[in-house]
Structure 1
């Protein structure tokens, strides 16, 4: 798409009741690095990523998604997106302005069609990052986020029409219909996916590992620590990426992945993948079957943050 102004996924911000427990999980076990902390809020970076942070945790009485943040190439692109969204009747949470968060920058926020707060920013200073070494089983970067929606087609249309996302592939079931839409804002197969669910919530947040060995070492570390893995290890067909899905202390699903497919956008044509074919869900055949119980885990709790902007 020639007028696509979104460039990439920056970070996912979560609010959690048991702040200390979540912080321990994401640092000691998951492998993220605290780079800034204030009263009841912490910013967590991935050592291999130039983003200032990839996860923000904030203490709250409610578990909720605070926001999903995407990058744009320039201040002008941020202004153009804000003007387009406002003209189209999309509710802006804030107007474009200088950012006060780490790395500075320029951005604004709005509610998507389901009420999630979305953040768009540009000119954020890159963080000094490093090469992840062989056998170092910590996340390189944030890979993608999957959101739950009671109306997948409506949510897909919003992201296509207003933000320039493109459809990469669709998961279907012969009796249920469309289950998941994989959406891209760059050649990566998906930075966003939209899953069919009974309510609006986070489906999972995915983190890229250095390679297969590091992915398996990280998976093993979580298993040895007693963290519950709900699905994996395996390799999907759509996106061709590996997967190990775990549940964090507040019931959010998080994923270790690697080798997510990069597409030639000029020649790519979306496919329909039938999940009743076991090879679609897991090409290796090593993961436990994706059954109704696994599906219920990824539904997560209904998000009380819809159309309610986070306090920061």
Structure 2
């Protein structure tokens, strides 16, 4: 396990064939703010977050997850982590150095065990952000990302060993065994979770709202826009967070959430939750049932970007 700790989830970068349609959805419907762009590339911020952007959209022939980006405290920590990853046989995409993206900073990229591109960075200039007001239904920040993997035990072990993630909770089926691992790098219940699926892919990206009222107003705006609502509204037991899931124009699942549980590091003991119990997946009992259709959409399309670094 790495003694150099990541600090937080910075952004999730997506490639899509129809950039303009995706951009319109993420800004006009989902409530993100376009802060910078180039030909076929857009950087989208959450109004309440100091991150320069929480989503990057890139036009490409094929849909894929371009990368996940995490913060680290200092350039020295980035150097140490890069050296340790290389020494452990992890394939680096680039050596640590200055980043050309908005806000600059210092970082590097590498492939995880499933072939996803991961970026780690420090010293990124903070964006001028603002307090989200009552009844304002726009995301405060990027909450977490959930990823599908055929062997979640292997993927979990890799992230714990090399990047210092800690297990918070497990979702288990009496018939099928472990279905999901929730992992943290700070006090938030999870920044990443791994869900067992038939292939490597994006499960969902989650965005934090100010509170329950704002979360419901944002969910209502998405419903009224005609966006496909996949699951919710409800409240999970693992993480104790509210949820509503929607599909973006390219079939990626997005979540509005709020009131994520905060973990006391010295006293937390991981739970094992029985996924067959209705109150585990939805404490409120207000969401539509989790069924094969919802599960199929959550599996998403196989990621075509495994072990292929994005061009930028």
Q: TM-score range by the shorter chain?
A: over 0.9
Secondary structure of the 1:28 match is helix
Structure 2 match to 1:171:
171
Mapped to 2, the partners of 1:295 and 1:80 lie a distance apart of: 39
Alignment of 1:64-213 (within 5 A): 64-213=64-213
Once the 2 structures are TM-superposed, how far is the Cα of residue 149 of structure 1 from its aligned partner?
Answer: 0.2
Mapped to 2, the partners of 1:35 and 1:223 lie a distance apart of: 25
Give the TM-score taking structure 1 as reference length. Answer: 0.99
Mapped to 2, the partners of 1:270 and 1:184 lie a distance apart of: 11
State the aligned residue count.
312
Structure 1 runs of 4+ aligned residues shifted over 2 Å read 1-4
The C-alpha deviation readout for 1:16-49, integer Å capped at 9, x for no partner, is 0011100000000000000001000000000000
Secondary structure of the 2:21 match is helix
Once the 2 structures are TM-superposed, how far is the Cα of residue 5 of structure 1 from its aligned partner?
Answer: 1.5
| Alpha-carbon spacing, 1:195–1:101, altered in 2? closer, same or farther (3 Å) | same
Alignment of 1:1-312 (within 5 A): 3-312=3-312
Mapped to 2, the partners of 1:31 and 1:43 lie a distance apart of: 13
Mapped to 1, the partners of 2:268 and 2:27 lie a distance apart of: 38
Secondary structure of the 1:134 match is coil
Mapped to 2, the partners of 1:59 and 1:266 lie a distance apart of: 44
Contact 2:15 2:65 (8 Å CA) reproduced: yes
Mapped to 1, the partners of 2:282 and 2:64 lie a distance apart of: 30
Contact 1:203 1:298 (8 Å CA) reproduced: yes
RMSD, aligned CA: 0.9
Contact 2:2 2:164 (8 Å CA) reproduced: no
Mapped to 2, the partners of 1:253 and 1:177 lie a distance apart of: 24
Secondary structure of the 1:168 match is strand
Mapped to 1, the partners of 2:94 and 2:237 lie a distance apart of: 39
Mapped to 2, the partners of 1:155 and 1:190 lie a distance apart of: 15
Runs of 5+ unmatched residues, structure 1: none
Once the 2 structures are TM-superposed, how far is the Cα of residue 293 of structure 1 from its aligned partner?
Answer: 1.1
| Alpha-carbon spacing, 1:240–1:20, altered in 2? closer, same or farther (3 Å) | same
Contact 1:4 1:185 (8 Å CA) reproduced: no
Mapped to 2, the partners of 1:285 and 1:89 lie a distance apart of: 46
| Alpha-carbon spacing, 1:262–1:4, altered in 2? closer, same or farther (3 Å) | farther
Secondary structure of the 1:302 match is coil
The C-alpha deviation readout for 1:120-173, integer Å capped at 9, x for no partner, is 000001000000011100000000000000000000000000000000000011
Mapped to 2, the partners of 1:292 and 1:84 lie a distance apart of: 41
Contact 2:234 2:243 (8 Å CA) reproduced: yes
Contact 1:143 1:191 (8 Å CA) reproduced: yes
Mapped to 2, the partners of 1:49 and 1:254 lie a distance apart of: 18
Once the 2 structures are TM-superposed, how far is the Cα of residue 2 of structure 1 from its aligned partner?
Answer: 9.0
Contact 1:4 1:165 (8 Å CA) reproduced: no
| Alpha-carbon spacing, 1:2–1:156, altered in 2? closer, same or farther (3 Å) | closer
Once the 2 structures are TM-superposed, how far is the Cα of residue 3 of structure 1 from its aligned partner?
Answer: 2.4
